Amino acid sequence: MAKAVIITLGCRVNCADSALLTDRLTKKGFVVVEEIDAADPPELVIVNSCAVTAEAVSKSRQMVRRARHAAPFARIVVLGCAAVPDEKNLLAAGADLVRDNFYKVQAPDFSDLPTEFAASFRENAVSQFPFRTRAFIKIQEGCNNFCTYCIVPLVRGRERSRAFDEVLADCRHAIESGFPEIVLSGVNLCAYDDDGRKLADLVQRVARLDGAFRVRIGSAEPRFDQLKLLDVMANEPKICRFLHLSLQHGSDVILRAMHRHYTASQYREFCLAARERIPDLHLGTDVIVGFPGETEELFAESLDFVEKMHFSNIHQFIYSPRPGTAAAKFPDQVPGDVAKSRAKRLRQVANISAENFRQSQLGKRFNVIFEQDNGKILRGWSDHYLEIAVPSQSFPRGRIVEIEANESNLRAVGDLPK
C-alpha cells in the first residue's frame, strides 16, 4: 500500500486539519506513517503549512526542502496558510503542488475547484490521531475580524462553524478510540454558531458525553457575550480550568490601531468574571510587541497591564509585517533591536507571572494525564495546564490520574532536562 506522511506546522487548528486529512488519506488506501524514512520513502508528503509569522513561512519552506531531500521521488503537496503568500517560493523549494486551506477537504486528489463554504460546514471525515495522545477536534474555521496585522482572514476565509452533530460524532469517535483529552479547536472559537447553537452549547454537550475524558477549549478570541461559556466551564467537571484569551496589547491606542474590538478595561472585566466563576483557572494570553506606532510609553502601559493581570502563561510575539495586511504599510515601524529589547522585558514579567501561578498550586490535588516517558522521567499535564514530572513508569500513560502537587513534581518552564 502507498504510504503518506503529514508534516504539521503551526496552530491547533492545523493539528485538527491534519487529523481529518489522515482519515481522508486512509479511506483512499494510504498508510499514514509518522515520519519520512529515507530507506523506505513515502509516495506522498503533505506539508500542512503555517503563515502566522514570516518565520513560520520560512519554516514551511524549510520543511519542503527537507522532505524533497529525504524523499526525492515523492509527490510533495503544500497545503494551508503559507500557500497564499508564498506559493512561488514553496514551489521553488521543491513542492509539486501548492494549495490553500480550502483544498484540504479534497485530499489526496486536489483536482477539483475549492468548495464554497456556507456559514455551517461539514468535514465528512472523522479525526484520526495515530501519533498523538490528545484529540484536536476542529469545530470552526475562518475569521471576520480583519485585525490589521493578521493574514488569517486572507488564508482561511470568513467565519463558519462545523455542524453541531458532526462535531459531537467526531468527539464520540475520539472518546471511543481511548483519547483522554479532547481539544476543541478553531480559528475564532467564540464565533461558533450553528443555527443558533453557540460555543457554550457545544462545549456543554461535549462535556456530557459518556466516557473517561476531559475537554479543553483551545485558544480563543475575546467575545464578551460569552458569559454563558464561563458558567458552563464552572459547572461541568470534565471541562479543563483553562482559558487562553488573546489580548495582543495592553494599550487602547494600539488595540484600536490593531482593529481589535475591545478595550483593555473590557478585557480585564471578562477575565475577572472568569476567575470569579472558575477557581484556580489557568488564564493565558498572546501579546505582540513592536507593533507600528508603539512608543516606549505605550509599551510601558501594555507591560503594566500585563503585569497586573497575573497571566498563567503568555505567548509573546515580536510584530512581523505580513504582506497584504494593513499594518505592513503603517508608518512608525518599530526598529528590530527596540522590539527585541521590549520582548525581553515582557518575557521577564511573563516568567514571574507563570512562576507565581505554579507556586499557588503547591499542595493542591488535581487531575493529570501523563503523555511522555523517556525512560527516566514521566511527563504529564494537569487540566489547568501545569507540567508534572515524576519518575518513569510511576503512573500509566494516557489516563486521567489524581496528583498532589509538590516542589519535586510540579515543574517550572525549562526546569526539565532535555
Q: Tell me the domain boundaries of the chain.
A: 3-106, 122-360, 365-404
Task: Say if residue 49's pLDDT is above 80.
Answer: yes
**Predicted pLDDT at 93:** 92
Mean pLDDT over residues 85-102, rounded? 90
Report percent pLDDT > 70 for the chain: 96
The residues, any chain, with a CB within 8 Å of residue 225's CB and separated by 6 or more, are: none
Residue 327 CA to residue 388 CA, distance in Å, equals 40
How far apart CA 184 and CA 400 sit, in angstroms, is 18
What is the Cα Rg of the chain in Å?
21
Give every CB contact of residue 412 below 8 A, 6+ residues apart in sequence.
354, 355, 358
Cβ–Cβ < 8 Å for 110, 99 = yes
Q: Which amino acid is at 217?
A: I
Summarize the confidence of residues 250-255 as an average pLDDT: 98
Query: What distance in Å separates the CA atoms of residue 4 and residue 2, rounded to the nearest whole number?
Result: 7
CA distance 80 to 156: 8
Mean pLDDT of 229-245: 96
CA distances for 235 relative to 212, 227, 239, 278, 384, angstroms = 17, 13, 9, 9, 15
Other Cβ atoms within 10 Å of 228 Cβ, number: 14
CA angle (226 as vertex; 221, 228 as ends), nearest 5? 145
Give the CA-trace dihedral at 77, 79, 84, 90, to 10 degrees: -30
End-to-end CA distance of the chain: 37
User: What's the rounded mean pLDDT across residues 263-276?
Assistant: 96
Most confident of 54-63, 98-107, 203-212: 203-212
Q: Is the pLDDT of residue 413 over 70?
A: no
Architecture of domain 3-106: 3-Layer(aba) Sandwich (3.40)
pLDDT beyond 50 at 416? no
pTM of the full structure: 0.83
Q: What is the pLDDT of residue 400?
A: 95
Q: How high is the pLDDT of residue 412?
A: 65
Look up residue 10 and give its amino acid: G
Instruction: Please state, as a whole number, how many other Cβ atoms lie within 10 Å of the Cβ of residue 298.
Output: 18
Calculate what percentage of the chain has a pLDDT beyond 90: 74
State residue 418's pLDDT score: 35
Would you say the C-alpha torsion 354, 246, 220, 292 has a positive or negative sign?
Answer: negative
Low-confidence winner among 95-104, 181-190, 229-238 (lowest mean pLDDT) = 95-104
CA 416 to CA 418: how far, in whole Å? 6
What phi and psi values does residue 215 have, to the nearest 5 degrees?
-120, 130
Domain 122-360, what architecture? Alpha-Beta Horseshoe (3.80)
Would you state the cell numbers that stand for residue 328, as one nine-digit string?
Answer: 505592513
The three-class DSSP label of residue 314 is: strand
Q: Is 129 a residue whose pLDDT tops 90? A: no
Cell of 347: 518575557
Q: Centre a 10 Å sphere on the Cβ of residue 246 and count the other Cβ atoms it contains.
A: 18
